[in-house]
Structures are given as structure tokens and as C-alpha cells.
Amino acid sequence: MRILPVNLASLLVELDDLGQALGLYERLRQAPIAGVTHLIPAARTLLVTFAPARIDADTLARRLLEQPLTNADHHHGERIEIPVYYDGEDLDDVARLLDMTTDELIRRHGEHDYRVAFCGFAPGFAYLSGGAGFDVPRRPSPRTRIPAGSVALAGAFGGVYPTASPGGWQLIGTTPLDMWDTGRTPPALLQPGMRVRFTATDTPPQRTSVPAPRPDAIASRPATLEVLTPGLQSLYQDLGRPGQTAQGVSTAGAMDRGAFRAANRLVGNPTDAATLEVALGGLQLRCHRPALVGVTGAHLALSIRSEAGETLTPSVGRPIELAPGDTLTLGAPSAGLRSYLALRGGFDVPPVLGSRSTDTLAKLGPTPLERGDPLCSSDLPSTALSLEEDAAFALPRAGQTITLDVVMGPRSDWFTAQGQETLCSQDWRVTGRSDRVGLRLAGEHPLERTDSAELPSEGTVTGAIQVPADGQPVLFLADHPLTGGYPVIACVADYHLDLAGQIPANASLRFNPISAFEPLGGDDTRGPNSLETST
């Protein structure tokens, strides 16, 4: 067992194999360690997130090392049959990689039961172990979009993409079955411990897309506000969906949690009430009923046009009263990227898996706002208004260089000394392909790896700096996948995550390495970030 630092509140436990990882996961679920908040099992690791106020990293590491290593046994779970139409783009290439014919690959793929080992990457995405025993490398560069229902292979695992998403697995076929359906209990078709048998079919799958209901189809109250112009991206957000990792669902939620909470305080809401998260301004709302709103986050101009034609210019960070007929407009930010608009009493929008937030990668939660959408007020208990506190950081601008503190690891040893130095010595430009999933970075010199092997999938955290084969890193943000298969060279310190969520395209990043933990003590003389030991 090795214990590797991830960030200021997470450790990665590395074990020999999948059986040990699942065995430790089951043991910690049955006999929890006080202070541990999340567990994410993967191919041969267990990601352990903890509350530093309740347990420190050294104590947790020792408690983990005391755990006996046993294998989990799920050989007798329910069997699910999945029909497959073998039409994958990579089918012939995979057959050549495995030195067999396409027909032989198809036959062997369906001859054995797979086992659902764990869920990750996306809601309902099950990692299937065993089966035919194939071992297939991932694609050198992930596709930007893989269709829902795609049956795929990567490393020693099989899987089925539940929704359209990016991905680097090799595609061998498609299935008509829905792996993920929020109208089903539980939403994920495949649960850990189940067995899966693939069966070939000659019928191409006919998948029908059912659009999510628009707010005007589900509104139960008169509209308080109406969307005239939604801007580039306006989403409902709250603090996300903790506790859903067993189904492959990450927490997600507001990108700048400090600004999110401040918006709710401005109007006297509970600090976890859903708000609107507005990227790059441009949102325009018409008021139909008296309302109190507050806007925080990015620096931008606000304007109110009354029904009588009068124009007012309220301030960000102050409560704003709106009268029927008023039109509120959020301008383009001069600094920062995302604004948060709270409505006193909260927004009346139905929760999905306990949250009203929109997860753009997982396609969970309310759809993005569109022109004509009604925004209805709820009846959340209200308290006294509280003006926004001073911002915890200066909002970044395009063209600026922003420094983020990082904890090196857990996979920094997969990179050369030059690669590790390059991470922190050169500027990284934030490209226009960045979004809520992550900041895609471009640097003059790519990061050099010492190990070109495939990294078995393992849990990831918000702030993880994952490095694909091209050496250009991606800084994971709120909507990142639960697990990933590229090495993470470092992770942004928790206290800089809100700042990361406000960084616009064409800004530049610098990474400043910090010490996450003290050495374990005794005769251990290793340097910072070396919370690592073996049993």
C-alpha cells in the first residue's frame, strides 16, 4: 500500500490490484474512519477525501495503513444482458491490436461474464472487469464526443458510455439500452457487483433523444422574472450533489462558491439556495412581480430599464429591488468570468438527485436558460440581508498572468524532472476550449513523461491537473469526470479553486508548488509532498 498526496484534503491509496481496492473500499464503508467524507474506488486505487478540521493527513494515512488488505467478492451478483451492434469506429483496429480477426473479437467479447467493479467518469458509466481478458490501450488523444450507448474497451476494462461525452476509449459497438435514466430508481442500470453479458445483434440501435422539460412546462408558480436574453451560458447552480459517487456522479455545483454564497446572503436566502450562474454576462431579465435580487462575482455593469423608460445603474454586491416592467441587464465582465444572481425566496426549479445544479458533462439538472423561460420564486425561509464581504481575491482579466498554488502529485513521478520543472516555470495560456469541465492549457513546451504506459483509471478531484499524451495539461473544474485515465501531475490548492473558476480565456497561469503535508516523522527525512509509505 502507498499513500500519495492529492490536495489539501485528499489522499490516494495505491494498492496491488482491483480486488484489494474494492476490498478496502468495502471495509471503509462498513467501518468508517471519522473525518473521511468521500471514497472513490478505481482500478487499483482508492481516493479518500477528508475534512482537515476533523482529521489531519498524517493521522489518516496511519489509520489507512492499519487496514487489512482483503479482496472483495462480487461473483454472484445479478446478471444483465446487453445487446451490442458491433459497428464501432475502432473495431478493426482493436482486433489488429489483439492479433485476432474481427469475428473472433466479437465472439470472445460475448463469451464471458464481466463484473461491474465500480462506477466513474460519468453518471452510469460502469467499469467492467474480467470478461474476455482483453487489454487494449486508450486512444492517444480522446475524442471530443462519443455517442451515448457506445460499447468500448480501455486497458483491462470494458464499458458503455451512458450519455454523449468526450472520451479516450476504443469503440467497438453500440447498444440501445439506456445506461442512465433519472426516471428510474436507481438511475444507473449497472451497479457495483452486478454481472454483465454482451450479446451480438444484427439490428442497429434506434436511439431516441427525449428532451429535458423546459422550465415553462414544469413551472408551478407565476413567473417572477422572464428571460429575454440568456447570454452565452446561464445555468442554475447550487452546491452540487455530494454522496452520489457510487453511481458515478460527481459533486459539480457552483464554480465560485464564495461568490455563490455571497449572492444568497445579499437577499437573505439560505447560503445553499440555487442561483443563476452567468458566464460572460449578457443575461437580460424582465420583472413581472416585485422582486429582490443580488448579483456577485465578475466585475460588470448592471442596468435597469423601468417600464416608464427610466434607466438605473445598480451595483454588483448590493441588493437590487425590481418592480413589474423593469428590465435588468448584465453587461460583459471587465474582470472575472462568472456572475451569480440570487432571487429572494430562491428559484422554484425541481431538484435532480437532490440538487438544482446543472452538471454540463453529466447532463444532469436543469437545462441552460433560453429566451422566454419563466423564473419562478420559491418560498425558502428568508433572513436579514447581508452585504457582500470583500472579495477573497482580485478578479483575473484576459492577458493577465494568474498564479495558483499547487500540491505536486499524486502522479508527478510519471514525469521527468524537466517536465515537473516545466509545469511551474513556464506560463500556460488558457485556451478558448475551456469550460466548466476544465481549463485547457497550452504551453510552449509540453510536459515530458518518464512513463508512457497506460495509467489505470483512478479518482480525480476538482483542481487536478491532468496531462494527456500530448503533454498539454487540463485543469479540472467543477464538472470534471469522477475518474480519469491520464496522470495527474499536481492539484490546485482548495483555497484557489474559486479563483480558478473565474479565469477567462487568454489569461495565463503560473503554478506555485507548496508543501501539502509534513513528512510522517521518525527517521523519515523525505521532502515536502512525500506522504508516501509502503506495507
Helix (H) or strand (E) holding 18: helix 18-30
| pLDDT tens-digit readout, 173-215 | 999 999 999 888 889 999 888 899 999 999 988 765 555 555 5
Q: What is the pLDDT of residues 38-60, one digit of tens each?
A: 999 998 999 999 999 999 999 99
Using left for φ > 0, alpha for ψ between -120 and 50, and beta otherwise, residue 522 falls in left
Fold for 79-200, please state it: Cyclophilin (2.40.100)
Query: 202: which DSSP letter?
Result: S
The rounded distance, in Å, linking the Cα atoms of 20 and 15 is: 6
C-alpha pair distances (Å), 442 with each of 55, 186, 367, 429: 37, 40, 30, 5
Question: And the C-alpha cell for 354?
Answer: 437532490
pTM: 0.87
What's at 280, amino acid-wise?
L
Element (H, E) at 59: helix 57-65
Give dist(CA 175, CA 82) in Å, integer. Answer: 7
Structural contact between residues 104 and 93, judged by C-beta atoms closer than 8 angstroms: no
Query: What is the architecture of the domain spanning 401-514?
Result: Beta Barrel (2.40)
Domain boundaries, the chain: 79-200, 220-376, 401-514
pLDDT per residue of the chain (535 residues) written in tens, 0 to 9: 999 999 999 999 999 998 899 899 989 989 999 999 999 999 899 999 999 999 999 999 999 999 998 887 655 678 999 999 999 999 999 999 999 999 999 999 999 999 999 898 888 999 999 999 999 988 877 788 999 999 999 988 999 999 888 888 999 999 999 999 988 888 999 988 889 999 999 998 876 555 555 555 555 678 999 999 999 999 999 999 998 888 888 899 999 999 999 999 999 999 999 999 999 999 999 999 999 999 999 999 999 999 999 999 999 999 999 999 999 999 999 999 999 999 999 999 999 999 999 999 888 999 999 999 999 999 888 888 877 666 678 999 999 999 999 999 899 999 999 999 999 999 999 999 999 999 999 999 999 999 777 788 899 999 999 999 899 999 999 999 888 888 999 999 999 999 999 999 999 999 999 986 643 323 332 233 333 333 3
Same fold, 79-200 and 401-514: yes
CA–CA separation, 10 and 6 (whole Å)? 5
Measure the CA–CA gap between 85 and 79, rounded to whole angstroms. 20
Collapsing DSSP to helix, strand or coil, 457 comes out as coil
Sole residue written with cell 490516494 = 12
The pLDDT > 70 percentage for the chain reads 92
Instruction: Using the structure block, give the residue that is written with the C-alpha cell 489509520.
Output: 63
Determine contact, residues 97/225, Cβ cutoff 8 Å.
no
